[in-house]
Structure 1
Amino acid sequence: MLDQGGATSADPAQWHVRILDAQSDVLLGTGFLLHGEYALTCAHVIGARAEVRLDFSLGDRDRVVATRTGFSGNQAEASRDIALLRLAEPRHHSWSAPLVERAELQRRAAVWCYGHCAQYPDGTWVELTVAGRAGAGGGLIQLFTEPAGRNVEVGFSGAAVLDSRDEAVLGMVVLKSADSHPHGMAWMIPIRTILEQLPDFQGAVVEDPPQRSAARRLEQFDSRIRELVRAEHRVVGLRRCLSRATSSLSDSPWSSNEFRVRLAGFRRKVAESPDGVSPDELDGLDRELTAARDFVGAERARLEEIGARSERPETVGDVCPRPDCPGDPGRIDETGFCEACWRRPPAESPTREGADEWRCAGLVTLPKLKFPRADWATGAEPSVPRLEKGTWVGRGRYQVWKYLAKGGYGSIYLAYDENLKREVALKALSDRYDQRAAGALRSEAWYLTRLEHRNLVRAHDFFQHPEVPAEGEPADYIAMDYVKGVPLSELATLPRNRQDPPLIAEILAYGCEILTALEFLHQRGLCYTDMKPENVIRSSDRIVIVDLGGVWEDRKDGRRPSLTRGFHPEQGPGKFRPSVSTDLYSVARTLIALIDDVADDDLEKVRYSMDSVQCVLDRALDPVSARRFTSAAEMADQLKGVLREIMALSGFAQRHEASRHFEPATSDLDGGLGAVPPLEHWLDERAELTALGRPTPEKVVQELPAPLVDPHDRQAAYLLRVTASDFRRLTSELTGSVESQLKACRAALAEHGGPDVRAAATCLAAAREQRRHDAERGEQSPGPAWRLDWHAGLVALASADFDGAWRHFREVRTLLPGEAIPAVALGLCWEYRGDAKEARRCYEAVWRRDKAPAGATFGLARLFLRDHKRAEAAQVLDAVPAVSRQYDAARIAAIRAYLIKLGESGWPTAEDVSEAARRVNELLRDDGEHRRYDAEAHVRLTAWVQTAALAVLEHSAAKVEFTEPHELAMFADPPGRRNLQKRLERSFEALSRQTRNPAEHQALLDRKNRLRPVTWW
């Protein structure tokens, strides 16, 4: 029986009604509709009432009045205890119970009814079993519940009795309040008996009753399995009365947990497709459930016969803590799931271990976490454990403490190692007859005991259990490190603070650590093959890759690789072969799965960097193998570059790291913005310093850092040493090499008289042709030909083809999203194309990540100056670290930012000149120690700021006074225009000594004399 504690969520049919007193709405019983106009129930339910109210459970919540008809049954005779009611407001004709006449019901056949009672006024399903005919003349069918329990409640009188496999109504429950049935009995008036008294309703009989949906049958199975659980607990309690050592039904050919696992699989199929489970499969489960119920019932009867007594069922497992659990109470069984609500108990959230931290991938600082529960290997569905709690395995070394979950080929348990005095994880082969699984487990044991890496789980032992053949077929077991934590698929459960790095940065850092472990495997000729979020554990202070059963060694492995759908490239059945490329593909898919779970608001904060993230993922997933990463280390390098960008844009300072693909910068690409003004600036007093410092395309192609020589090139060793710039000599002496042609291309662009674009294009074409020949001979360098695109961009830039240059540099940026130099080149192209917004995005991404790369700092400052934002430009320049080779130029550029004229009328203000004076004073004072500038530069810097101050005094409408200490030191003490002119006069005299010819000397003396105050003598 599914007693009243086993209500399901399956709704009754629309023809089902609840019968209430018309005056008080007190529950009287149950009934069902015929032809939408009549209701059938028991006569004793209606009693002497002339009318009642009907409440519909589905489709219509209105209560309808129903009155007696002319038919009058006999309450005293159970087989004639029938009442027919007419609805005051009839429903549609289709609202009619599908009656079926069955000449004989098979003994022990399962039937169902849905009724109401005081405890469950909204109704509940009850399972019953046919016992046989009863009553005078066999006009009734006796029913009983399995196992014997509470009687069917009084409110069930009038309920339709349904076949267990379809919607056929076989009869009506009849049960009076005076009846008492200690063995859980009830009676049914069969349809044939009803129709003998109501022949006019023969039309309600159907030949082909509606089939019960798979979903409804699964709900019924759910109820039966729950009752089987309770029956098993009762038997366990009886066995404990006889022997405390006996605590399970291990001798049973069936178990409720196995049924639950099968039911979960059926539910998943039905959720995917209503026809996902065939009726034959459901009938098979139905038969096995009946057999299991009979076995448990027989075992209970046997135990009670030999004297076992138990006042209540054995309590198994902890109480389910979920408030909405339908159990009374629900218990957590050995599968880790509640036997009532079929869910795991809510996971206890991990907590931070004080202020302790660890650096993931050397870039992202994360808190150390404490995981209170032993549940890292959680599963979405229950699985039946083979070992019980307390079992000793491994020659008495390991005691099983808890079942954790089902892994790829086996079950995982938490155990205690008696020798090492610590917790371990035991992985057991689930199917000992599965040779493929056995091979995978042994392979995993072999690799786990030989591979030592911080990010790979370690194994300590491999054994079989049981050791004695008489105790059963032995199964393989691995004892490995027990890693407390959660799989990456459950990152959302981890505690986070506002001060923590963005979740996307954390995910990318995990990706870098995963790639480090895969590089370790790849260097040993191994492939992991089964990367996915569930196989990576975030523990207290590291990430750990588990489940090494799929590790593949190409030279030896004849096994079929272990794969998870969606995490490996589709190559057709039987064609997949693990490789470095396929491992990197699975890493990219893993990162995508994790990023998909990041909230949109969190992604919005780093939206400008998500394009770089996508570039890394796209390259790993590229269908063209030649464009993919060639190693895990290469992918990790680009991923770290993008990660540094995201961390910097999120406010986390980053250290400078040298590029692995480009030579160090030898030029600032400042376009003169960071240079002390030349002497020519003072030769013409009408000249103003207005240039914003954008380098010319010709200058850019000469000063952008060159790509490092491809180490796979046949001339690589020689090219690393050659310094000549004569491309003709290089072309003639270094033939048959892509890199030699590219170096010749750069030499042509660096000609002193200006770039020789035609010669550079010729060299580039020769490099492309050489790479094509190398590919035909199988000698092509691995990876995409991004160096060709880089040089194509240089040639296009030298030709003033800014759109073409942008396309080529964009391709390089797509392949190397973690590199700074391609982003700088893109920023310059955006500037030349007139899109300052996109140029700023490129420069800022590089500048925030690393203040050192050539061009980004000055490019960003230049764009601020274009918008007349002097202070912002200076702030960018001030961020250049003192150890950078750009430091001196940045200090000069910051002074220039306050002194140059911006646009037609953007003259410096008194505040701008004052700030410039402060900076010049500071620079000259510091240079007294470090001697970065010569005496001539000191004079020009002083004259520069004094000239700007005099211009402010002469053109300002308001009175201006420079009275600050640094102003007095630079301009005049005491302050005033005349004293400032005297200071500037001395500066021009010093400048005149820097001239190169008499004309320049005379020009500066003339400017000096014009500054001298007019006197009478």
Structure 2
Amino acid sequence: MTDRVCTRPDCEGAGRGLINPRGFCAECGRRPPPLPPAPPPPPVAGSRSPGAAGSLSSEATADTDRARRRDAARKFRVRPAGEGLLDLPRVELPTLRDLVLRDPHPPSRGRICGRTGCGETVGAPYAGQPALPAGYCPRCRHPFDFTPRLRPGDLLGDQYRVVGCVAYGGLGWVYLAEDTQLDNQPVAIKGLIDDEDEAALRAAVEERRYLTMLDHPGIVRIINYVTQPDPRNSDRLTGHIVMEFVGGMTLAQIRDCVADAVPHFDGPRLYEHLLAYGCLALRAVGYLHGEKLLYCDLKPSNVMHHEDRVKVIDLGAVRRLGRDDGEQPVITERFASPEVLTRGAAALTERHDLYGVGMTLKELSDKATRPAQRPPGLGAESYRRVLVRATAADPDRRFGSAAEMSEQLWGVLREIHALRLRREQPAPSTLFAPTAALLDASLGRVPGLERWLGAEPRPVLAPGLPRPDQVPPGLPVPFPDDADPGAALLRTPTDSGPRRLIEQLKAFPRPSAEIRFRISRAHLELGEVDSADRELTAAARIIGSGARHDWRLWWHRALVRLAEGQVAAARAAFDTVYSALPGEYAPKLALGYCAEHLGDHDAAHRFYEAVWERNRSQGSAAFGLARLRLAAGDRGGAADILGGVPKVSRHYDAARIATVRVLAGRLGGPDGLPAAEELVEVLTRLPRLYLDDGRPSGPARDRLTAEVLETALDWALGAAGGSGPGLLFGEADDERTVRVRLERTLRGLAQQADSRGALEVLVDRANAIRPMTRV
């Protein structure tokens, strides 16, 4: 000892603790500061409490951690991913020995004292001084030692030869070793960072137990458990878990790659990789939940990307669901849900793990700040809403299960993938039934006879935007919730009309929100809006306290608002559904209509595009995009969209009719007539349309032909007057040819008249079109 005393204000022996020859205080185990320490800065809002791990770490320490992760990541070779939805960049292992840490350091932010109930941080840097690898807790004097127990060359269990330290986990050092009895295959050996840590010892026992019983490709696999004498105390045995070696980068290292825009973790595909991480991690988390286990400490450093796969590692925090033995759970504050931070283990549920998955994805995507890393179209907003729901402060707002969250991640992943490649990624929804109805009032239909009976002889083509009260039957219908007592009845097919169906469903003897929803929709079919709204009030009472977060209730409220003509209110309700279900088609289709009706064409385009690019069979989205193109005067763009509806779609024939009407229709403005090549294309398409139940002639074909020929006549008159070049029919006199054909067609329409007045009007129109007789 020297005669120098410790001057630290937090040293219990301040003023009398002697400094030993190595320069450390015998009382608190730390170096004295070279100068009296400055007063501590005031606490920053949102910072962690003084007892939390890492609260004493400096910015320099954090920079050192990031530099260490980046140095380790540079040792890996990353190859591009395939084009599959879940394909990830391939992280190829370097020489395994390159992963060995040359100078293994203890956790740079320190750890909580190992004595139960203490809560003090030990082994953390202080006032610019480096962290101590060993010493005593300044509060309770409990010893700690973070130095590795195993050294290169040590042989465990006469089988596993240690190569060196490769990392430290939440509770223990991780060593690379070789199995000498199995061709020196690499294995990972995990031992405690501090075997004086009582909580860590218990967690190690729990981890060994759970690893032994688990079998999932996304969870690290245990191979063996071996013990050996403690090198510092030969009378004491220390245990080590032998696991499969997962050589790759943690998502904490991937986060740094994203921040540095490393190739293959840059560009618009980045978010697809992040969503794939989430889907794959949720598979493992969902498996644990099925085994009645909670992971508790999901964070980037506990998820490993190796080769083109993902594994969850470090199960030291796993605990039985519902276990309440008074012990605090092993969590990381930054990734722990608010209710667990406030109430501890009593608040642990599956939603805590889902919060950790959401925060892990947020950590990665927050580093994607470059414009080139942003996903296209609506993808960024859908991704944001997934994270907002997953990380909601109120656990009731979060996803209810790993499967539910995974389904929405899958939907957003398909959306971004389709928007990037302009290649559809269809998949049936498990929440909404498809509908045969089409969100179109006229564009995809052959005009009725009344078109030729009005005052305007040749009206401008109507874009076909439906009235709000016409929309509810054209939107997808939610499947009944299987947990509802009325679900089985509602899944039974029926041919009852809406009035009879209401009578039948009201006889159901048990309270059922789903029955009320179905009755509400039946009232909307009958135009009984007030009755429909009353059924939703009854449904909310049945649902109870969860009604404010029930997306089915919000969906039906939006339908009622549409039926009332309150489109802005409907838009707000559909937006709530979109926030709850960011990966679904239905709310985006509904929001596209609302935005279009309210004149917000940019927003309407984003919603329709997200649905259309993902599934080309969604005819309502195609018609919405076509209407937007027509409003912008882009006749060819509208026709191209409609022409992309595939033959397998139930809206295929309507789209083909709409294409003909768009190419031949009269638009508003001085340049409202189509070009000659567009009319020629129409005359080619017209005979191939499926009309009149497939017959080559009939009333529907006559009406559509008449509409096309009227536009052709206007074009021919313009061409004869010098405003249009070329021939339509290959005839020397296009005008006469069109007049002859149109007169014949209009006389055919006269035969469809159901009244004498209609017959006279149509005959008069035919006579007015008739060409002058040549002498």
Q: For the superposition of Structure 1 and Structure 2, which TM-score range results when normalised by the shorter chain?
A: 0.7 to 0.9
2:567 corresponds to:
802
1:52-91 alignment to 2 at 5 Å?
Answer: none
Q: 1:351 aligns with which of 72, 77, 98?
A: 77
Using a 3 Å threshold, how does the CA distance of structure 1 residues 692 and 454 change in structure 2: closer, same or farther? same
Q: Is the 8 A contact 1:761 1:795 kept in 2?
A: yes
Q: For residues 316-339 of structure 1, what are the alpha-carbon distances to aligned partners after superposition, in whole Å with 9 as ceiling and x for unaligned?
A: xxxxxxxxxxxxxxxxxxxx99xx
1:586 aligns with 2:356: yes
1:552 aligns with 2:319: yes
| Alpha-carbon separation, structure 2, partners of 1:596 and 1:869 | 38
Cα drift, residue 635 of structure 1: 1.0
1:366 corresponds to:
88
1:39 corresponds to:
none
Paired residue secondary structure (1:437): helix
Using a 3 Å threshold, how does the CA distance of structure 1 residues 706 and 356 change in structure 2: closer, same or farther? closer
Cα drift, residue 585 of structure 1: 1.0
Deviates more, 1:973-982 or 1:435-444: 973-982
| Alpha-carbon separation, structure 2, partners of 1:387 and 1:505 | 40
Q: 2:470 aligns with which of 689, 695, 699?
A: 699
Q: Is the 8 A contact 1:656 1:850 kept in 2?
A: yes
Cα drift, residue 384 of structure 1: 3.1
Cα drift, residue 540 of structure 1: 0.9
1:741-780 alignment to 2 at 5 Å?
Answer: 741-751=516-526, 755-772=527-544
1:269 corresponds to:
56
Using a 3 Å threshold, how does the CA distance of structure 1 residues 574 and 523 change in structure 2: closer, same or farther? closer
Using a 3 Å threshold, how does the CA distance of structure 1 residues 919 and 510 change in structure 2: closer, same or farther? farther
Q: For residues 137-156 of structure 1, what are the alpha-carbon distances to aligned partners after superposition, in whole Å with 9 as ceiling and x for unaligned?
A: xxxxxxx999xxxxxxxxxx
Paired residue secondary structure (1:543): strand
Where do 4+ consecutive residues of structure 1 move more than 6 Å? 105-110, 164-167, 212-215, 265-268, 341-344, 375-380, 467-470
| Alpha-carbon separation, structure 1, partners of 2:586 and 2:686 | 30
Cα drift, residue 994 of structure 1: 4.4
Q: Is the 8 A contact 1:460 1:479 kept in 2?
A: yes
Using a 3 Å threshold, how does the CA distance of structure 1 residues 437 and 343 change in structure 2: closer, same or farther? closer
Q: Is the 8 A contact 2:230 2:238 kept in 1?
A: no
Structure 2, gaps ≥5 residues long? 7-20, 24-30, 41-51, 109-132, 134-145
1:988 aligns with 2:760: no
Q: Is the 8 A contact 1:943 1:988 kept in 2?
A: yes
Q: 2:734 aligns with which of 954, 963, 976?
A: 976
Q: For residues 704-741 of structure 1, what are the alpha-carbon distances to aligned partners after superposition, in whole Å with 9 as ceiling and x for unaligned?
A: 22221121111111122153312640453125221111
Paired residue secondary structure (1:357): coil
Q: For residues 197-224 of structure 1, what are the alpha-carbon distances to aligned partners after superposition, in whole Å with 9 as ceiling and x for unaligned?
A: xxxxxxxxxxxxx648899xxxxxxxxx
Q: 1:514 aligns with which of 281, 306, 309?
A: 281
1:445 aligns with 2:217: no
Q: Is the 8 A contact 2:368 2:374 kept in 1?
A: no
Q: For residues 654-697 of structure 1, what are the alpha-carbon distances to aligned partners after superposition, in whole Å with 9 as ceiling and x for unaligned?
A: 32112222211221111121112333334457142421110111
| Alpha-carbon separation, structure 2, partners of 1:846 and 1:631 | 25
Paired residue secondary structure (1:530): coil
2:401 corresponds to:
631
1:346-425 alignment to 2 at 5 Å?
Answer: 347-353=73-79, 357=82, 359=84, 363-374=85-96, 381=108, 384-394=147-157, 396-421=158-183, 422-425=185-188
Cα drift, residue 797 of structure 1: 1.4
Cα drift, residue 531 of structure 1: 0.3
2:142 corresponds to:
none
Paired residue secondary structure (1:519): helix
Paired positions, count = 685
2:512 corresponds to:
737
Q: Is the 8 A contact 1:501 1:647 kept in 2?
A: no
Task: Report the TM-score when normalising by structure 1.
Answer: 0.61
Q: Is the 8 A contact 1:552 1:578 kept in 2?
A: no
1:323 corresponds to:
none
2:163 maps to a residue whose letter is: W
1:825 corresponds to:
590
Using a 3 Å threshold, how does the CA distance of structure 1 residues 212 and 593 change in structure 2: closer, same or farther? closer
1:523-542 alignment to 2 at 5 Å?
Answer: 523-542=290-309
Using a 3 Å threshold, how does the CA distance of structure 1 residues 1010 and 348 change in structure 2: closer, same or farther? same
1:874 corresponds to:
639
| Alpha-carbon separation, structure 1, partners of 2:209 and 2:696 | 66
Paired residue secondary structure (1:587): helix
Paired residue secondary structure (1:845): helix
Paired residue secondary structure (1:898): helix
Q: Is the 8 A contact 1:683 1:1004 kept in 2?
A: yes
Q: Is the 8 A contact 1:992 1:1004 kept in 2?
A: yes
| Alpha-carbon separation, structure 2, partners of 1:489 and 1:789 | 38
Q: Is the 8 A contact 1:376 1:487 kept in 2?
A: no
Using a 3 Å threshold, how does the CA distance of structure 1 residues 841 and 961 change in structure 2: closer, same or farther? same
Q: 2:602 aligns with which of 833, 837, 843?
A: 837
Cα drift, residue 352 of structure 1: 4.4
2:74 maps to a residue whose letter is: E
Using a 3 Å threshold, how does the CA distance of structure 1 residues 832 and 576 change in structure 2: closer, same or farther? same
Cα drift, residue 590 of structure 1: 1.0
| Alpha-carbon separation, structure 2, partners of 1:984 and 1:973 | 15
Give the structure, 1 or 2, with the largest relative contact order (CA under 8 Å, sep 6 or more): 2
Using a 3 Å threshold, how does the CA distance of structure 1 residues 994 and 897 change in structure 2: closer, same or farther? same
2:446 corresponds to:
676
Q: Is the 8 A contact 1:441 1:476 kept in 2?
A: no
Cα drift, residue 418 of structure 1: 2.6
1:716 corresponds to:
487
Using a 3 Å threshold, how does the CA distance of structure 1 residues 344 and 585 change in structure 2: closer, same or farther? closer
1:865 corresponds to:
630
Cα drift, residue 108 of structure 1: 11
Paired residue secondary structure (1:902): coil
| Alpha-carbon separation, structure 2, partners of 1:730 and 1:519 | 40
Q: For residues 544-597 of structure 1, what are the alpha-carbon distances to aligned partners after superposition, in whole Å with 9 as ceiling and x for unaligned?
A: 110112122125674542211121123325454421111111111111111111
Q: For residues 747-793 of structure 1, what are the alpha-carbon distances to aligned partners after superposition, in whole Å with 9 as ceiling and x for unaligned?
A: 01101xxx111211221222222223xx5xxxx79x93221111111
Cα drift, residue 537 of structure 1: 0.8
| Alpha-carbon separation, structure 2, partners of 1:741 and 1:269 | 57
| Alpha-carbon separation, structure 2, partners of 1:342 and 1:855 | 53
| Alpha-carbon separation, structure 1, partners of 2:578 and 2:661 | 32
Using a 3 Å threshold, how does the CA distance of structure 1 residues 145 and 431 change in structure 2: closer, same or farther? closer
1:490 aligns with 2:490: no
| Alpha-carbon separation, structure 1, partners of 2:233 and 2:349 | 44
1:178-217 alignment to 2 at 5 Å?
Answer: 211=36
| Alpha-carbon separation, structure 2, partners of 1:926 and 1:458 | 61
Cα drift, residue 891 of structure 1: 2.0
1:566 corresponds to:
334
RMSD over equivalenced CA pairs, Å:
3.9
Paired residue secondary structure (2:241): strand
Using a 3 Å threshold, how does the CA distance of structure 1 residues 348 and 564 change in structure 2: closer, same or farther? same
1:283 corresponds to:
none
| Alpha-carbon separation, structure 2, partners of 1:590 and 1:267 | 19
Which structure would you say has the larger Rg? 1
Using a 3 Å threshold, how does the CA distance of structure 1 residues 529 and 933 change in structure 2: closer, same or farther? farther
Paired residue secondary structure (2:582): coil
1:458 maps to a residue whose letter is: R
Cα drift, residue 408 of structure 1: 1.4
1:427-466 alignment to 2 at 5 Å?
Answer: 427-466=190-229
| Alpha-carbon separation, structure 1, partners of 2:22 and 2:557 | 84
Q: Is the 8 A contact 1:972 1:980 kept in 2?
A: no
| Alpha-carbon separation, structure 2, partners of 1:663 and 1:599 | 38
2:271 corresponds to:
504
2:310 maps to a residue whose letter is: I
